Structure 1
């Protein structure tokens, strides 16, 4: 049986989106697949769904890539400021946040901006969509945590924070969420909206992922990845992953195997196998690649046709009933999110660029060689 398609995508300061084909087998390998120079400034955010990869940049644009066809699909203009966060909800919607304080809701079928919300008085620093699709959370530099009713497209609740939070994340089951302020992680319960525990690290936290509903992978301004229990707030395991600070972590599950991908300022992307039955043991290294770039953000695109599934902010195991419920929620959102009277949404547009193929690293070298002649 052929290996399922999998692509590690990473943004960097060099204004390039890097793609690496990951080949899971008895011996994993990650090989350079494409490079794309779509932005005019460094990349700041990347998100994936089963078809597209989107990137955000300091150049205030969002670029779209069709991974099925391996082509550049176009660009989105709505924000005035660095794109700080991007997150898909399934195949139907994309949410974007930026330094202009806006959260934009995009329809991914026609790539229209359905709604543009003035979410924060300062920058939007992070956002996260509840697995049900009914709620979203956002934090910003106005020291607030805001809850959004996505069914009706309106604010639901505002909580004042003592400091600016720079990361917010739902657990896969949607029963809790976490905020990150500097080197501190506060764990909240959804039903009470109160803090149930706090995790404190020595360094400023740069990236955080839920591995399960109760286990967090945390990385900061050092070369170490740590796993923490949300229930006890205790460190379950820590290991040296890189030679420099870690910029981003991504995780997913493949055929029962928990895989973690890390990107570092040392230029390396590394793929790890985590055995949850031996959580106290350091993960084993599956493979690595030296990108020779100053990495900023990371994601893994998984082919829908594969048996892989994402383990990033989505329920790890779901019944058909849950899928039916999600389907009905999406239908509701299509009606409620699309507000034709919202004048701010009408200015959003897609740049209809020529659909260019993503160039391979070899093509890139040839171009440089020809230009030198």
Structure 2
């Protein structure tokens, strides 16, 4: 044990070692299955609940971590000092800050330590019940697996946060709004095929998707954002993210009120060499003849385009010559509609 740590907590450490309260086996099993990055995701997911659970016993928890030599004497004293000066909530926040800074091996040991202390921290019992659901779902899933489309509640969102790659996440017409999408923010960039169409996400929700596109580890290849309430102002941020993204090959934006200005923003993003989009759907976006001409002009620098959808827009015969020029410009073009 770290020198200088109050010996009065020996009874706490002793109780934890005696096994009077059996460990939460489901959470233990889940911890064993986590690799380093998944463990950090799990910690971030449970962060607020851990802080709340630890508040009442923050001094004892800090003592046990020092007793087990996961905390240094200085770290232990920092938590005690913060608790005395501020409040138990402040001490709990500091304690979790120190925990998340630990190397993965130590972080996993601290998690197991928390699990063993569940008799001191009654609120962890709720996590045990959830842990049973999590581990059952985790058993039936492989990393890089297809997920069910009826993704609801925190059990699935908690489980999929542990995945490295998600092949398909299809949430079309699920009545999801920006607030609900926040739950999935940690995993959006991991989806190879992400479909969020026919949900009232608005510009704020699409902004979360844009953040996923900017993630260095982004794996999104197909992105469905049809009829999500995207407007010109939201298209600015999306276009910026697309301009530097090198994974998306299919983009569906049909059914959004983009108009000529919004379409121009998106099409200009395709000019960037990093952008790999081959299929672009812009049906029912309020595009006019003038906007179509600008679109063709901009896309002329993107010979890799294979599919372009412009159905149900306010187009007339005036834009036909411009569209015809696409044929010799795009050697790989398979379809315009």
TM range (shorter): under 0.3
Greater percentage in helix: 2
When Rg is computed on C-alpha atoms for both structures, the one with the higher figure is: 2
Of structures 1 and 2, the one with the larger relative CO (CA 8 A, separation 6+) is 1
- State the TM-score, normalizing by the size of structure 1: 0.21
Greater percentage in strand: 1
